[in-house]
Amino acid sequence: MSSQLFSPFSLGALSLRNRIVVSPMCQYSAVEGNAMPWHRVHLGQLAQSGAGLLFIEATAVEAIGRITPGCLGLYSADNVAALRAVLDEVRSFSDMPIGIQLGHAGRKASSARPWDGGQLLPVSQGGWPTVAPSAVPHGAQEAAPQALDASGLERIRNAFVQAARHAAGLGLQAVELHCAHGYLLHQFLSPLSNQRDDGYGGSLIQRMRYPLEVFDAVRAALPASIPLGVRVSATDWVEGGWDLEQTLAFAQALKARGCDWIDVSSGGLSPKQQIPIGPGYQVPLAQAVREATGLPTMAVGLITEAQQAEAIVAEGRADLVALARALLWNPHWPWQAAAALGAQVKVPPQYWRSEPRDARGVFANAAIGQR
């Protein structure tokens, strides 16, 4: 029986060789938003993984939207030039489709890198004032963000549009909006962080308004050939917060606007979250979105084994699986999954001779002699 995980799939006009997606993974290694040599190594390695699609990490649309001082940005000419240099090198040896996740950290910006503690950085330590839907801090001991006014909303919406245009100019083949993990667009969605009393707060429709406006503006700015998807946190895992029912309403609204996929994650908005972590714990959320909307969905979260990923796709629980930590641990995970599932995967010819005897035929079109 042929593997469903290694069957082709299309996101809008973009054709993928298989259903494995490299998730956006923050590296906290940029300088002033600029990609550095680390990104050449990181993305270059993952571009040889055999996955169907590679996403660049969460990339800020303005400087104060960076999660940490080390986060990538796409808001300046220097950012564009630095990322172009990385992409030119990666594309010289890989034709894997590459997309980018665009986001704004909102009240979770101005934080230290995880290995430096991850706490909110004051201005005196290299941080900056943060913004959010409402002046409600993420943590009880943190300084409150500034509530966005009409001009701030317009500025950030325009920043998303400009970043999307930069992405198109760089030849990136897919764009994902980050509406998850407690960052700005998620902050508008959740009643825990959005306590506005204007047209952008209160009811579900009004809380969805700004993220949908950003989606519409970005969709209008991108060529039709570039698919646009959204990552959501399907639940805050906090009573009275954003939940699956609201996520389904948001997904339906996105579908009506031409969204090409929903990348279904969860949590990140509140320190009070209670997450039932276990293998594939978020897959039922992706399945619920898929069944309710018919939109292509990506399942993420503790998907680590080939047979587990195969079952998710084969049983119709999600259309694609997006791996993060599993690929950091083992960048050749798709090669080994193909061997386990009797499938084939495209790898660089320089590595063809590494094919083990018990996995002969895994490397697609591999044929090389040795003198």
Give the C-alpha distances (Å, rounded to integers) separating 38 from 29, 70, 244, 359.
Answer: 7, 12, 37, 32
Annotation marks residue 183 as catalytic:
yes
The tokens describing 89, both together, are 């090198």
Whole-angstrom distance, CA of residue 148 vs CA of residue 142 = 18
200 with 210: CB under 8 angstroms? yes
Work out the angle at residue 65's Cα, subtended by the Cα atoms of residues 135 and 158, and round it to the nearest 5 degrees: 100
Give the number of other CB atoms < 10 A from CB of residue 140. 7
3-state helix, strand, coil in the chain (%, to 5): 35, 15, 45
CA distances from 203 to 18, 40, 153, 254, 371 (A): 40, 44, 19, 17, 71
Catalytic site residue from 28, 75, 183, 210: 183
Other CB atoms within 10 A of residue 24 CB: 23
**Quick one: which H or E segment has residue 156?**
helix 150-169
Q: Which residues are catalytic?
A: 183
